[in-house]
Each structure stands twice: as C-alpha cells, then as structure tokens.
Amino acid sequence: MSLSGRHPQATAPPPREPERLSLGVAARLSRYLQVLTQAKKMGRDTISSQELAEYTHVNSTQIRRDLSGFGKFGKRGVGYNIDSLLAQIRRILRTSGQHNIALFGAGHLGQAIASSDVFADHGFQIVAIFDTDSGKVGQEIGDALRVRNYGDLAAVVEADDIVVGVLALPAAAAQAVADDLVDHGVRVIFNYSEALLQVPPEVTVHTSSPAVDLLYALYFYLA
Amino acid sequence: MSLSGRHPQATAPPPREPERLSLGVAARLSRYLQVLTQAKKMGRDTISSQELAEYTHVNSTQIRRDLSGFGKFGKRGVGYNIDSLLAQIRRILRTSGQHNIALFGAGHLGQAIASSDVFADHGFQIVAIFDTDSGKVGQEIGDALRVRNYGDLAAVVEADDIVVGVLALPAAAAQAVADDLVDHGVRVIFNYSEALLQVPPEVTVHTSSPAVDLLYALYFYLA
DNA sequence: TAGATTGTTAATCGATTAACAATC
DNA sequence: TAGATTGTTAATCGATTAACAATC
C-alpha cells in the first residue's frame, strides 16, 4: 500500500516521501502535473479530483489516494489549489534539479520537439540538437538553438553534462547514435524511432513515438 | 506460415477471446506487435519471451501469460514464430478492419506523423490532412497526401467514414477543431496538443504528445 | 446552514513474479 | 541426450473502487 506504516497519532507526522515512487504513481503524478500546468495557463485557481479525473482518465478516488499519501493538499468542499499542488507534486517528483537533454535529428519530429514549451514549463532544457546532415548544421531550430555538427557530440556531452539522449531520427540511423551516446557515458536514451536498440544493461532505453502512441489509442478505442 | 492450423476439438478448449480486452492487456499486446513488426523487418524468424521482455520492459512471465491466455503460440526450447505471432495478435486485437484517420495540422508534428510508415504497417490509413493556414493547402505531405481546405471537413468525414480525428496543432486551435469533429459525429479524438479539451461524454479524448511522453520518461529515470 | 469535496477505510480485482514441470 | 524455453500454478503485491464521515 502507498500509506506505508502507521504513525504515532500523538504528534502530527510530516509528509513522508517513500524512497522510490512506484512506476504507476510516478506516471500518474506526472499526468496530474501536466493537467495542472495547463489549467493554470487557462487561468484556473483550483481544481477538484473529479475534474482531474475527467482529463487524465484516472479514477477520482485514485487521485485523492495518490495525493493523500504525501500530505493533505486539498480543501474539503473546494478542491485543490493549483499553484500549491503544482509545487507539492514537483517536490515529490524531485524536478527541482536542472537536467540537460541532447536531441538527435533535426527533421520534422526533432523540430516539433525542440519547439515545444513543455520542457521549459517543467524545468528541463534541450541544450543541443545534432544532425548528421551537414546541410542542416547551423540552422536555427526552436528557441535559440542551432543544429550542431555531429562531431561535437563528445565535447557537448561532457561540457553540458548531458544525461539524456533523445533520438528523433530514422530507424536506420538510431543504433549508431545510441552506440556513440553509450560510449560517452549517457545512461538514458529516449528513442522516438522504431529501431530495436541494443545497449548494455546499465543503459535504459525508452522507446515511443507519436505514431505508435496513436496506434495504441486506436486499439483501445476501436477494438 | 502455419496460420493456426491446429484446431483442438475433442479435449482442449479452443482459444478463447474475452468479450473485451482489459486496457493493460491491449496496451501490452500492441507493444508486442510493435516489437514483432520491427524484428521481422530486421529479418528475424523467431523471438523468445525473454527477448520481447528486454525490448518492451514487460516481465517475460507476464508476456507468456498474456499470450497463453489466447492459445499455445510458442514452441518450447525455441520461442515464438514471428509471422505466426503477428497474425495471432492482430486477430486478437481485431485490426483486420480498415479504419480511416483525419489529421489536423500540417506543421512539424503533423508532417512527422503523416510521414510515418507505422500506420501502413498496422492497417490504418491517414486519408486526409487539414490545415487552417490556406497557404499550406495543396502542399504535398508524406506519401501521396495533400493538405486540404478546412472547409472540406464535413464532406471528408462523411465520404471517408473518418472514425478518429488527430489534432497536431497548437493548443489555442485545438478546441475549435474538436468541436467541429464532434458536430460531425467523430467519437474518438487523439490530441497531441496540450489543450484540455471539453467534449460531450460520448466522445473519447486521448491526450499525449512527444514532449510530454519524454517528460514522463525523465521523471522515471532521473527521479 | 446546505452543498460540495476531501481524506480514508475496507473490500475486490487484476497485475506481477518466482518457480518449475513439460517438452521442443 | 542436454539445453532452452514455454505454459501454468500459486502466492504476493499494487491498483481500483464504492462508500462515507469529516469538514470546508
């Protein structure tokens, strides 16, 4: 269970953080974060677990249960204050740190990702974009980013402390870039291509792509 | 290949299809399908549950359990025949039918999606792409698709039996298009924007975007 | 106050996993 | 045969849900 252990009721226990969030909880919390961020942009001040449930497709009891495991963030009869809940979830997900991302591929998908303001909204930063097509080197992408020469990879990974490599390139090119990233110490690879990447056990690959996401949804809703 | 030539009649019960797959099973089956498709492209003939587990991050026992619920598809000591398993999973997911998709937004993300061969691989078809920017109308996108005028929406939905509307456009434009889709009877909307869409209860909205996907992964692997 | 919504309990359901006999 | 891998069981764990008192 998520409420791990009983507290002595005499003294009010501080909100507890389990050492490690379960995958399910972390996934749901990040979905709440996404909806809260957007609701805030729309000028909302508070939101109920019922509304969060409609937008996330997570049961409202599950939402209240997820949140109450970390503290009493809501107000009965009112709902949750959006600013306050955003701050709490960010704290729980430990997103205060600055993490730098390198993006590979300046095609349509790479440009779509580089232009997204999702990362700025959530404290991550794309610090470099590479393309093996030398014709694209120097081209301006998104917000103040320029396509860099692939040969700079090693220098950039070291200088900017790149922890995640994002592959937004054709399947045929993905493995070679993954190999280079692994050689230079990058431990997390986000793979938007359809390639089945071979990496050493200490490296984590997360594969998903917009088209494959859509495919999943189609199976759910049409089957 | 052997397309389930075995018909257990006397003793063993025939492979059973539950009326409705659970969300989890459907999600996992479609991930297996994705990996199998790619493995086939790489020239592989068979694959073990262990290998599938490495690529999908699903436990190998879970994979065998998922599959054995529908029949005995594997060969002990060998693994699963890829062609045969592809056919079985497609049958289970009922992907034989032709489903037509309309895409809204011919920007970077829209073009990335339209250019993907994932849909052709899996029996879905993007039959129309729209953009409200009249300057883009007529432009060729992906494979033999032309950007159509937004005013053609009603005619296209009806003529081509569009069951899914895909929104690959800025958040500010998403709600208006969603409203039009709903008005014309589309019941499933895939929302790649960050907008929180308001739709009637009979309409299903699935929201996800490449950048938000990446964000989830970052929480998992960096937290 | 009256209405709304949280926080929490208790019960159920489905997912996950280790282990291993069956068998290719 | 020897090695590998499936199919399946049994046990555990986490997710889900309805219900409702607390309380804003």
First-to-final CA distance of chain A: 33
Q: In terms of Cα–Cα distance, which of A74, A25, A20, A65 is closest to A47?
A: A74
Q: Provide the chain A residues 188-207 that lie in CB contact (below 8 A) with chain B.
A: 188, 190, 192, 194-196, 204, 206-207
Q: pLDDT-derived band of residue B105, with 50, 70 and 90 as boundaries?
A: very high
Q: Are A128 and A160 in contact (CB under 8 A)?
A: yes
Please check whether residue A155 touches B, CB under 8 A.
no
Q: What confidence score (pLDDT) does residue A19 get?
A: 55
What topology is assigned to A23-93 in CATH?
Arc Repressor Mutant, subunit A (1.10.10)
Question: What count of residues does chain A have?
Answer: 223
Q: Are A134 and A106 in contact (CB under 8 A)?
A: no
Q: Residue with CA nearest C17 C1'? A: B61
CA at B3, C1' at D17: how many angstroms apart? 41
Q: pLDDT-derived band of residue B93, with 50, 70 and 90 as boundaries?
A: confident
Burial environment of residue B199 by CB neighbours within 10 A (0 to 12, 13 to 18, 19 or more) = middle
Q: For chain A, how are helix, strand and coil distributed in percent, rounded to 5?
A: 45, 20, 35
Question: Any idea where the domains of chain B sit in the sequence?
Answer: 23-93, 99-211
In this complex, do A55 and B223 lie within 8 Å of one another by their Cβ atoms?
A: no
pLDDT in tens, A194-222: 999 999 988 889 888 888 888 777 776 76
Q: Which residues touch strand D (CB under 7 A)?
A: A 1-2, 22-25, 28, 58-59, 61-62, 65, 75-78; B 48-50, 60-61, 64-65, 67-68, 72-80
Residues in B touching A206 (Cβ below 8 Å): 217, 220-221
In this complex, do B93 and A223 lie within 8 Å of one another by their Cβ atoms?
A: yes
Which homologous superfamily is A99-211 in?
Answer: NAD(P)-binding Rossmann-like Domain (3.40.50.720)
Q: In terms of Cα–Cα distance, which of B168, B223, B171, B175 is closest to B203?
A: B175
Collapse the DSSP code of B42 into the 3-class scheme (helix H, G, I; strand E, B; otherwise coil) and give the result: coil
Alpha helices, DSSP H, located in B57-209: 60-68, 82-93, 108-114, 118-122, 153-159, 171-183
pLDDT > 90 fraction of chain B, expressed in percent and rounded: 58
CA at B200, C1' at C7: how many angstroms apart? 30
CA at A24, C1' at D15: how many angstroms apart? 9
The DSSP code sequence of A118-144 is HHHHHTEEEEEEEES-GGGTT-EETTT
Neighbours of A161 (CB within 10 A): 11
Sequence-distant (≥ 6) Cβ neighbours of residue B193 within 8 angstroms:
B167, B168, B169, B170, B171, B173, B174, B207, B209
Q: Are B194 and A118 in contact (CB under 8 A)?
A: yes
Collapse the DSSP code of B128 into the 3-class scheme (helix H, G, I; strand E, B; otherwise coil) and give the result: strand
Q: Which of A23, A108, A113 sits opposite B111 (nearest CB)?
A: A108
Structure pTM?
A: 0.86
Sheet holding B46-47, edge to edge: B46-47, B79-81, B74-75
B27 versus B131: the higher-pLDDT residue is B131
In this complex, do B219 and A95 lie within 8 Å of one another by their Cβ atoms?
A: yes
A183 versus B13: the higher-pLDDT residue is A183
Q: pLDDT-derived band of residue A20, with 50, 70 and 90 as boundaries?
A: low
In this complex, do B218 and A108 lie within 8 Å of one another by their Cβ atoms?
A: no
**Nearest chain B residue (CA) to A37:** B194
In this complex, do A112 and B107 lie within 8 Å of one another by their Cβ atoms?
A: yes
Q: Which two tokens stand for residue A47?
A: 């939101």
Q: Is the pLDDT of residue A3 over 70?
A: no
Which neighbouring-strand residues pair with B125? B100
Within 7 A of a protein CB, which nucleotides of strand C? 2-9, 14-19, 22-24
